[in-house]
């Protein structure tokens, strides 16, 4: 008998804020199965300014509603915090946390982390109230490596001065991409005059166009991803870092991160799946003898149900009032007589 030894090469995606819904939809439509952890700080679908409630569009033609029935938001609104994000990465989360909110990774997992939002030199804002620094992010990745939570990691960030976020990385097997260099702004795309905002960032827009051409059998490599948004399109200068990555980017397929791949290895080793009948029969005989020697169960002596139903309730024993109650009544009577006197008793009785 030949066995197929399968080594699962999983892909996990952790995204945050706004247009990453579009990225999730793009990955799903390409047929690339991933375990996705989606974090959305803003509730755009239910925002009062949204002229079409419960819908989110990434293009001004409004043909595709990316906020459809199959979008699963794992962390939303005030759940999207720096603490929760770092806990998801490092695995330090309560045992009661459901699987959908966990990064189910191991030392065979390829992880894609795609972050967007407002940022600056060395930080990315969360909820406009706190921020994560490049040092905190680098330390979180090092903890992941020490705890064997990833095999290879692809980090993509679309924010102003995004390249500053991967400058402090020092853990192995990390490849990083950014939409802008230090000192540059990451600009928006697809303006919608109806609500007065842009629907997407330029870098993410062209990444999505690139992913639409990807399928599970694609041989497109990471060098192609580096060229998706030149300065003529993004206006900013995208950057990437590959010195921590062991493989050559031209040999790394896009589907290694934007998809789940099962690497199957064929072995010629032969094993027997037939059980040993003598061992099974001896175990069955032993269990049968143990049941025979076991004493029969005995029920505890109980009061018959009929007697319980027809029992009369027991009268409560009378106890004279305690000293505190008697003293309280005496005080009330003394105050009454001192205030009104005996002459007012006839009006009461």
| pLDDT class of 317 with cuts at 50, 70, 90 | low
Residue of 218 and 299 predicted with greater confidence = 218
Of 29-43, 86-100, 170-184, 246-260, give the lowest mean pLDDT range. Answer: 29-43
pLDDT at 77: 84
Catalytic residue check, 118? yes
List 9, 59, 118, 198, catalytic entry: 118
Give the start-to-end residue ranges of the domains of the chain: 3-267
Q: How many CB atoms lie within 10 A of CB 258?
A: 26
Q: Do the Cβ atoms of 166 and 176 come closer than 8 Å? A: yes
* C-alpha 148 chain-centroid distance: 19
Average pLDDT of the residues of the chain: 79
| pLDDT class of 336 with cuts at 50, 70, 90 | confident
pLDDT tens track for 234-291 = 999 999 999 999 999 999 999 888 876 555 567 777 766 666 666 656 666 666 566 5
Highest-confidence segment of 43-47, 246-250, 318-322: 246-250
Give the mean pLDDT of 6-17: 50
pLDDT at 120: 93
pLDDT at 293: 56
pLDDT at 6: 36
Residue 224 burial (C-beta neighbours within 10 Å; 0-12, 13-18, 19+): middle
Catalytic residue check, 160? yes
Residue 51 burial (C-beta neighbours within 10 Å; 0-12, 13-18, 19+): exposed
Give the mean pLDDT of 157-181: 96
Domain 3-267: give its CATH code. Answer: 3.40.50.1460
List 34, 160, 229, 234, catalytic entry: 160
Give, in degrees to the nearest 5, the angle at Cα 257 between 33 and 99.
Answer: 55
Question: In degrees rounded to 5, what are phi and psi of residue 175?
Answer: -115, 135
Residue of 89 and 289 predicted with greater confidence = 89
């Amino acid at each position: 008998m030949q066995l197929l030894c399968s080594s699962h090469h999983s892909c996990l995606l952790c995204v945050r804020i706004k247009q990453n819904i579009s990225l999730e939809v793009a990955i799903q439509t390409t047929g690339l199965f991933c375990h996705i952890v989606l974090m959305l700080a803003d509730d755009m679908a239910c925002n009062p300014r949204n002229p079409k409630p419960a819908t989110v569009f990434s293009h001004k033609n409004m043909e595709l509603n990316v906020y459809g029935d199959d979008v699963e938001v794992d962390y939303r609104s005030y759940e999207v915090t720096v603490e929760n994000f770092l806990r998801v990465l490092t695995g330090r989360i309560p045992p009661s946390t459901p699987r959908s909110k966990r990064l189910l990774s191991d030392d065979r997992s390829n992880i894609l982390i795609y972050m967007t939002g407002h940022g600056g030199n060395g930080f990315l804002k969360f909820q406009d109230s706190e921020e994560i620094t490049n040092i905190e992010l680098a330390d979180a990745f090092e903890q992941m490596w020490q705890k064997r939570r990833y095999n290879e990691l692809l980090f993509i960030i679309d924010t102003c001065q995004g390249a500053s976020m991967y400058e402090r990385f020092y853990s192995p097997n990390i490849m990083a991409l950014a939409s802008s260099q230090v000192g540059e702004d990451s600009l928006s795309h697809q303006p919608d005059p109806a609500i007065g905002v842009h629907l997407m960032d330029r870098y993410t827009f062209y990444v999505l166009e690139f992913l639409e051409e990807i399928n599970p059998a694609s041989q497109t490599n990471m060098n192609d991803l580096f060229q998706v948004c030149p300065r003529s399109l993004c206006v900013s200068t995208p950057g990437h870092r590959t010195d921590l990555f062991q493989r050559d980017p031209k040999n790394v397929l896009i589907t290694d991160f934007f998809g789940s791949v099962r690497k199957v290895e064929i072995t010629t080793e032969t094993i027997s799946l037939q059980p040993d009948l003598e061992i099974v029969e001896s175990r069955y005989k032993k269990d049968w003898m143990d049941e025979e020697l076991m004493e029969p169960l005995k029920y505890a002596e109980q009061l018959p149900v009929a007697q319980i139903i027809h029992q009369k309730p027991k009268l409560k024993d009378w106890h004279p009032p305690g000293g505190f109650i008697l003293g309280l009544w005496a005080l009330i009577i003394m105050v009454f007589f001192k205030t009104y006197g005996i002459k007012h008793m006839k009006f009461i009785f």
